[in-house]
Amino acid sequence: MGPGARYALRSVASGLGTLLFVVVFNFFLFRMLPGDPIGLYTRGRNVPPEQIEALRAELDRPLLEQFVTYLANPFASTINSARYNQPVWTLIGDRVWATLLLVGTAIVLASILGTWIGIRAGWRRGERFDRVSTGVTLTLYSMPEFWLGMILLITFGVGVGFVPGVFPIGGIITPGVDPTSLAGVLDVMWHMVLPVTTLMVVYLAEYALVMRASLIDELGEDYLTVARAKGLMDKVVRRRHAVPNALLPTVTLILLNLGFVVSGAITVETVFSWPGLGLLSYDALRGPDIALLQAIFLLFSIGVIVANIIADLLYAVLDPRVRA
C-alpha cells in the first residue's frame, strides 16, 4: 500500500472515529437541557391522561436502555418531534434544501469574490487597494451576523428615511406564487437578496483575509525569485506559481465552510424567517425538542466531518508533501 493510500485510509478512519464520538456525545448532551418535552408535546392539545402517562413511561426508561436503542439506529424514521408531531427526519428533509440554497449561494459568491480580493491585496501589499480592502474586510468580519442582518432588514426591507423598503422582510416565497414557475423562481431569488448578502459579506471577509495572508507568506520564497529571473511576467508568476501554493489554506477554509452549509446560519435564518435548518434548530431549542435536536445536531456533525475528510484528501492531491 502506497503512502497516498495509507494517508487516505487514516483520514477516513479518523473521520469515522469522530463520528462515533459525536453519536455518543449527541445522546447525552440534549438530555442535560432543562425543560419538559412531554409538556411541550401536550401543550394546547386534548391528550388523554393515559397517553401522557405512556409518554412519560417511555421518557423515563433506564438511560442505558435508551442509549442502546439510540445507538442501534440513530437515523430511525419512527422518532417523532415533540413540537411538530412528525418524524424528525421528515422535518429535516423538508427544510434542508432551503438551507442549501441560502448558505450554498452565499459561500460560492463569497469564495470567488473574497479570493480575488485577497490575491490582489496580498500581491500589491501596502498599496491603496490593499489598505482599503483590508480595512473594509476587517470591519465586516467583526460584525455579528444577526446584527448586520437586522440592519439590512430595517434599511432595505422596512425602509428608513429616504431609503424605501424594496426587499421582502421574511420567508422564502410570496404566498400564492407557484415556486415551479418562472415568476416563482424570480420571487425566491428576490427573497434571497438580503439574507445571502448578510452571509456573503461575513464569509467574504474571511476568505479575503486568509488568502491575503497566505499569499504574503509566499512572496519571499525562492521559487518566485527564480521564476522572475527566468524573465516571466509578473502576472504569470502570480497566476502560475504564487497563487496555486497560496490557495491551499483557502481551499481548506472553503471545504470546511461547505460542511457548515448543512447546519445553516441559525441567527440569519431566524432574523429573516428563512424556513431552513437554522430556523428549525432555533424552534427546537425553545422546547426543548430533544428528538429533533439530536437529529439536527447529528446531521450538522456529519456535514462537518465529511467536509473535513474531503479537505484532507484534496490537500494531499494539491500538495504531494502531505502524503509523505
Q: Phi and psi at residue 80, in whole multiples of 5°?
A: -100, 150
The three cell numbers locating residue 321: 508533501
Distance CA 295, CA 89 (A): 7
Whether 47 is in a domain gets the answer no
**Nearest to residue 107, comparing CAs of 20, 206, 213, 176?**
206
Task: Please provide the DSSP assignment of 262-304 as one string.
Answer: TT--HHHHHHTT--SHHHHHHHHHHTT-HHHHHHHHHHHHHHH
Q: What is the pLDDT of residue 164?
A: 82
Euclidean distance between CA atoms 18 and 312, whole angstroms: 14
**301 to each of 67, 259, 277, 291, 298, how far by Cα in Å?**
19, 9, 13, 16, 5
Domain of 131, CATH number, reads 1.10.3720.10
DSSP reduced 3-state for 309: helix
Residue 41 in any domain: the answer is: no
Query: Is 164 a member of any domain?
Result: no
Look at residue 20 and tell me if it is in a domain.
yes
| Residues 103 and 268: beta-carbon distance below 8 Å | no
- Name the burial class of residue 313, with classes exposed (0-12), middle (13-18) and buried (19+) by CB atoms within 10 angstroms of its CB: middle
How many domains does the chain fold into?
Answer: 1
Q: How many residues can be counted in the chain?
A: 324
- Quick check: is 46 in a domain? no
Q: Is residue 153 part of a domain?
A: no
C-alpha 45/C-alpha 132 separation (Å) is 58
Range of the domain at 23: 3-34+75-147+192-323
Domain membership flag for residue 107: yes
Grid cell at residue 10: 487514516
8-state DSSP, 170: S
Local confidence pLDDT in tens for the 324 residues of the chain:
676 677 778 888 888 888 888 888 877 776 676 666 666 556 656 666 776 666 666 666 677 777 777 777 777 766 777 777 788 888 888 888 898 899 889 988 998 999 999 988 888 888 899 899 888 888 888 888 888 889 989 988 888 877 888 888 888 888 888 888 888 889 999 999 999 999 888 888 888 888 888 888 888 777 777 877 887 787 887 877 788 888 877 887 787 777 776 666 788 888 898 888 888 888 888 767 777 888 888 888 888 888 888 888 877 777 666 666
Residue 130, C-beta contacts closer than 8 angstroms, at least 6 positions apart: 120, 121, 122, 124, 212
> Measured between alpha carbons, how far is 271 from 154 in angstroms, rounded to an integer?
11
Q: What is the DSSP letter of 80?
A: B
Query: Is residue 42 included in any domain, yes or no?
Result: no
Phi, psi of 231 (to 5 degrees): 95, 10
Give the Cα separation of 42 and 21 in Å (integer). 33
For residue 240, the tally of other CB atoms under 10 A from its CB is: 11
Integer CA distances (angstroms), 90 to 64, 80, 243, 290, in order: 27, 9, 44, 16
Number of other residues whose CB lies within 10 A of the CB of residue 88: 28
All three cell numbers of 218? 509566499
Q: Is 81 helix (H, G, I), strand (E, B) or coil?
A: coil
